[in-house]
């Protein structure tokens, strides 16, 4: 498809386990963002990539969270030693060139449940 | 502390009438504002945006108004349609050159036939 694709759509994991969430952005989009949405809240910024590099990772809550984008396309968000508080919908978005005034296209999200 | 606030969790209007969704922000350094619409089990989709140098932007049935002195923006939908029923998020960007979007908590709009 032509949109942002996120896999898996749902992930249930046990507390303490490691998870990886994948994002396939729109082809040609250099900017990629990860957000997290908890119940009843708006999306909360985690990290922003411009090409292969993390231009802003100020939203990552702690060092259990890490994200990569090795070839400037697909990105993986990695969460170590998951906690129940990590349960949320993780959203990925991409845009043509970055910039706060550039429309970002969101994927459908990965719903992570930590039990 | 929330930098972008949507104080109405929900709004219900009749089909054909106007829907007005409100948003307040705390930092005058934001330079771009956006509205996103979200259906259940889908990601947010971009609706309309406005630069801080403007006070109005219109796109079909959707108009966004920006009042910088009050740090307030609103989204008007006229006429409202049942398909507009969704959660609407206000977002702001450009704070100190940052690329990230800062979202409000959202307002659930229900348009009744």
Shortest Cα distance, chain A CAs vs residue B110, angstroms? 17
- Pseudo-torsion of CA B97, A44, B101, B106, nearest 10°? -140
- Average the pLDDT over B35-45 and give the result: 94
- Average the pLDDT over B90-100 and give the result: 83
- Pseudo-torsion of CA B41, B103, B5, B34, nearest 10°? -100
The pLDDT of residue A94: 94
β pairing state of B107-112 and B10-14: parallel
pLDDT band at B4 (very low <50, low <70, confident <90, very high): very high
Q: Please report the number of interchain residue pairs, chain A to chain B, with beta-carbon separation below 8 angstroms.
A: 69
Shortest Cα distance, chain A CAs vs residue B101, angstroms? 7
Count other C-beta atoms under 10 Å from residue A3's C-beta: 15
The pLDDT of residue B100: 87
pLDDT over 70 percentage in chain B: 99
The rounded distance, in Å, linking the Cα atoms of A42 and A49 is 21
The pLDDT of residue B1: 73
Residue B113 DSSP one-character state: -
The pLDDT of residue B99: 79
The pLDDT of residue A103: 82
Q: What angle do CA B34, B22, A90 make, to 5 degrees?
A: 50
Q: Which residues of chain A have pLDDT under 70?
A: 1, 98-101
The pLDDT of residue A97: 75
What chain B residue is nearest to A111 in terms of C-alpha separation?
B41
């Amino acid at each position: 498809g032509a949109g942002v694709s996120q896999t898996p759509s749902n992930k249930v994991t046990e507390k303490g386990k490691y998870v990886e969430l994948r994002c396939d952005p729109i082809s040609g989009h250099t900017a990629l963002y990860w957000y997290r949405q908890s119940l009843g809240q708006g999306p909360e910024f985690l990290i922003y990539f411009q090409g292969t590099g993390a231009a802003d990772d100020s939203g990552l809550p702690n060092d259990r969270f890490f994200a990569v984008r090795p070839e400037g396309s697909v990105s993986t968000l990695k969460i170590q030693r998951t906690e129940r508080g990590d349960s949320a919908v993780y959203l990925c978005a991409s845009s043509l060139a970055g910039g706060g005034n550039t429309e970002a296209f969101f994927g459908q999200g990965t719903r992570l449940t930590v039990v | 502390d929330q930098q972008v606030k949507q104080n109405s969790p929900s709004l219900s209007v009749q089909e054909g009438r106007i829907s007005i969704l409100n948003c307040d922000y705390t930092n005058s350094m934001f330079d771009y504002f956006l509205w996103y619409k979200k259906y259940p089990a889908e990601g947010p989709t971009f609706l309309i945006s406005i630069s801080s140098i403007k006070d109005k932007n219109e796109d079909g049935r959707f108009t966004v108004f920006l009042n910088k002195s009050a740090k307030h923006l609103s989204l008007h939908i006229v006429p409202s349609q049942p398909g507009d029923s969704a959660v609407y998020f206000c977002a702001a960007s450009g704070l100190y050159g940052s690329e990230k979007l800062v979202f409000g908590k959202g307002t659930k709009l229900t348009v009744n036939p």
